[in-house]
Amino acid sequence: MTTFRALVAEDEPILAYTLVQTLGRLWPELQIGGVLENGIAAVREALAQRPDLLFLDIKMPGKTGLEAAQELAEDWPEDVPFPLLVFVTAYDEFALQAFDHAAADYVLKPVSDARLSKTVERLKARLQKNDDRNAELERIVGQLRTLMPAGMAPEKLTVIKAAVGNQVRMIPVDDVVYFEAADKYVNVVTHDSESLIRLSLKELLPQLDAERFWQVHRGTVVNMRCIQSAVRDDTGKLTLSLRGRKESLPVSRVFAHLFKQM
């Protein structure tokens, strides 16, 4: 009998304990490789242990379950099957409708034997099929973005205010070629300059026009009008060449679908 391994990422100890104990009753053959208390630890341990299953609390400190899933999708080794994802969530049934066609499952808080039993049966069936799970990465991450409830949309930026010495430089957003994450800052790159702003890429993204600025990597957002071409090498990796800049930008496989041929 094949033994499957799982990791549980849940920051509430009682809920984590309940989930592990319930899994033990419903699926005694499943090996739990550890319980992680935040999204950062979940990414680290998943990359180290490479489990078959990953239970992720959607709302965790450090990184949310969705952010952890996206980071794993970008960094996961191509020769290793991507783990099946199960999200642990307190969202109501309307928000959970987004799971209907997603390549992931969910467990509703508080954990119940009835709901978890259905999840276990679905997971077993999918694991026995031995599908190419890496081929689902694009679909997984794209659909998971629909799971978080939409809040008030912030006003879109038209000008970036970047401090340069004793001055504040006003950069029209249309002049930006790409934004690049730099720790707690963002590097704003135009055709002829670079400037740091005291803002994270996560905070900046909702303020950008998504039709104009495309995220192409966990740490890179590019002005699509400044993309000259997308080149795929022999291994299938994509690289963007830019108008007015000499450097190239890598595209993670999570965002490769943006450059499919028309």
- What pLDDT is recorded for position 149? 47
Domain ranges of the chain: 5-144, 159-259
Q: What is the mean pLDDT of the chain?
A: 86
Q: Is the pLDDT of residue 75 over 60?
A: yes
Q: Are 208 and 198 contacting, i.e. CB atoms less than 8 angstroms apart?
A: no
> Helix 39-49 to helix 65-75 angle, to the nearest 10 degrees?
30
User: In the chain, what percentage of residues exceed pLDDT 70?
Assistant: 84
Q: Which residue has the higher pLDDT, 27 or 73?
A: 27
Domains 5-144 and 159-259 share a fold: no
Phi-psi region of 175 (alpha: psi -120 to 50; beta: other; left: phi over 0): alpha
Side chain identity at 56, as an amino acid letter? Answer: L
Tokens matching residue 89: 């969530």
- Sole residue written with tokens 């899933």: 69
C-alpha of 67 from chain center: 4
Per-residue pLDDT tens digits for 156-194: 899 999 987 788 999 999 999 999 998 889 999 999 999
| Short-list 23, 84, 27, CA closest to 50 | 84
Burial bucket for residue 42 (CB in 10 Å: 0-12, 13-18, 19+) = buried
Is the domain covering 159-259 a CATH 2.40.50.1020 domain?
yes
- What pLDDT is recorded for position 105? 81
| Short-list 208, 91, 220, 203, CA closest to 144 | 91
Q: Identify the DSSP state of 236.
A: S
* Mean predicted confidence (pLDDT) in 129-144: 62
DSSP bridge partners of 160 = 171
Strands 53-57 and 84-89: parallel
Give the containing element (helix H, strand E) for 73.
helix 65-75
Torsion 75-78-79-81 (CA) sign: positive
Task: Compute the distance between CA of residue 163 and CA of residue 122 in angstroms, rounded to an integer.
Answer: 53
Strands 176-182 and 185-190: antiparallel
Give the containing element (helix H, strand E) for 204.
helix 201-204
> What sections of 130-200 are H helices per DSSP?
137-144
**What is the value of pTM for the model shown?**
0.71
Per-residue pLDDT tens digits for 25-55: 999 999 999 999 999 999 999 999 999 999 9
| Short-list 9, 7, 8, 4, CA closest to 29 | 4
Assigned CATH topology for domain 5-144: Rossmann fold (3.40.50)
168-189 as b/e, with b when 16 or more CB fall inside 10 Å? Answer: eeebebebbbbbbbeeeebbbb
